[in-house]
Structure 1
Amino acid sequence: MDMATFVSRLKGWLEVNAPGDLERFNPAATPKEIVSISENRFALHRELLDLLALHDGVRADRGLTGPGGFMPGGYFLLDAKSMRLGQRDMERAVAWSLEDNLVDFVVGNVAHVMWIPIAETHVGSQLVVDHREGPGFGSILEIDADAEIWGVKRWGSLAEMFDTTYRALSDGTPVSDGAGGSIHARVIESPAGVPYVDWQ
């Protein structure tokens, strides 16, 4: 299946069961917005390009739980602008680590110039797409300082992440978290009475 199919299948489940999350999807990113993410520093992974051509992330209330955080762990998908800013933050962190002799701690653990943040939680944990050449190209890695998770591989691809999310929601199966535990999804209602996905 291609990304459009994985995304469509997940949206179909949300439409029936968690419309509060479905309504948070943004329209497609523009070609200019997509190009701005890496500014030709490197080519974006095909699945990321396909996802942005469908939806420019989701609208979410930063710093708050609620609709939009329907990916496992309460992650909400970032828009192209946030991806660009996040990638530049990664570049700055790597540069500072070189200056402060902290390369071993920072690079490949909390930041890399070829990582693109694609999702965040309301407390600042991140999922990134690994754009380094090699077998991990396109993998989804997690960074969660509170759980001491440093660049741990969560999924082999964006397609796998969407597939896992759909299966967990539709079948009620648990999802492994980056710390070796498991989390479950439930549907709850917002203060306005609109159902959305919550992960526990």
Structure 2
Amino acid sequence: MTFHDVLNRLDLWLEANASTERHVLNPPATARRIGEIAENRFALDPELRLWLSRHDGVSTWARPGGPGGLLPGGHYPLDAEGMRLGQRDMEQAVAWSLEDGDADSVVGTTAHVRWVPLARTLTGTELVVDHREGPTRGAVLEIDQDLEIWGAVRWKSVAELFEQTVTSLETGRPIVTATGREIRAEYVQEDDGVRQLVWG
């Protein structure tokens, strides 16, 4: 099954079962906005390009209470501009760590110049796509400072993340977190009346 097929399944499932989540997904990002993420620093992962050419993430202002958590763990997909800004923030963090002599605790732990943020939670946990050369190129890594998870490989690719997400949504099959806990998504109505996917 191709990544196109996976994204088609996601759109169809959301439209049928969680229409609020479907309607807060943005339309496609422009080629210019996608190109600005890496801006000739490195070649942007093709699956990340494909995702953005389908949906430019979600907007944090899309509904009351925040953007919701489409991806496992309550992560919401960033738009192209959020990815660009996140990558530049990581570049700055790496530069500061080198100046401060603190690179060992930052580079490849909480930031890297070739990591592109894909999604985050409202509490700051991030999923990043690794663009370094080597065996983890294209992998989706997790950073969770509260749980002391520092760039752990969660999925081998962006496509694998979305395929597991869609399969879990379709079947109720759990996804295992970085700490070994099983989570599933429920479409629930929050106290403020907003319906959204909640992973727990």
1:180 Cα deviation from its structure 2 partner: 2.5
CA shift for structure 1 position 100: 1.3
| CA deviation profile, 1:25-75 (whole Å, cap 9, x unmatched) | 10111111011101100010110111111111112349x866531100001
Query: In structure 2, what is the Cα distance between the partners aligned to 1:124 and 1:194?
Result: 22
For 1:15, give the aligned amino acid.
Answer: E
Q: What amino acid does structure 1 have at the position aligned with 2:139?
A: S
Q: Which residue of 2 aligns with 1:26?
A: 26
Q: CA deviation at 1:103?
A: 1.2
Question: Match of 1:197, as an amino acid?
Answer: L
Which residue is 1:57 aligned to?
57
Greater shift, 185-194 or 7-16, is seen at 185-194
Structure 2 gap segments, 5+ residues each:
none
TM-score, with length taken from structure 2 = 0.93
| RMSD (Å), alpha carbons | 1.8
Whether 1:95 aligns to 2:95 is: yes
Contact 2:127 2:143 in 1 (8 A): yes
Amino acid at match of 1:110: T
Q: Please name the residue that 2:5 is paired with.
A: 5
> Which residue in the other structure is 2:74 paired with?
74
**Alpha-carbon shift at residue 191 of structure 1 (Å):** 5.4
Corresponding letter in the other structure for 1:13: W
CA distance in 1, matches of 2:113, 2:67: 31
- Who is 1:15 aligned against? 15
Matched, 1:120 2:120: yes
Q: Secondary structure at the match of 2:150?
A: strand
Asked whether the equivalents of residues 130 and 141 of structure 1 are also in contact (C-alpha less than 8 Å), the reply is yes
User: Would you identify which runs of 4 or more consecutive aligned residues in structure 1 move more than 6 Å?
Assistant: none
Structure 1 CA distance for aligned equivalents of residues 71 and 101 of structure 2: 35
For 1:49-198, what aligned pairs fall within 5 Å after superposition?
49-61=49-61, 68-190=68-190, 195-198=195-198
Q: CA deviation at 1:85?
A: 0.3
Consecutive unaligned residues in structure 1, runs of 5 or more: none
Of 153-162 and 1-10, the range deviating more from structure 2: 1-10
> In 2, are the aligned partners of 1:127 and 1:141 still within 8 Å (CA)?
yes
Contact 2:58–2:67 (CA under 8 A) maintained in structure 1: no
CA shift, 1:172, in A, is: 1.0
CA distance in 2, matches of 1:75, 1:35: 23
Amino acid at match of 1:18: A
- After superposition, what is the alpha-carbon deviation per residue over 1:111-154, rounded to whole angstroms, capped at 9, x for unaligned? 00000001010111100000011111100000011111110111
Q: CA deviation at 1:192?
A: 6.9
Distance 1:172 1:67 in 2: 22
Query: Percent of counterpart pairs with the same letter?
Result: 51
* 8 Å CA contact 1:66, 1:190 repeated in 2: no
| Matched residue type, 1:108 | G
Equivalenced residue count is: 199
Residues in 2 aligned to 1:68 and 1:163: alpha-carbon distance in whole angstroms: 19
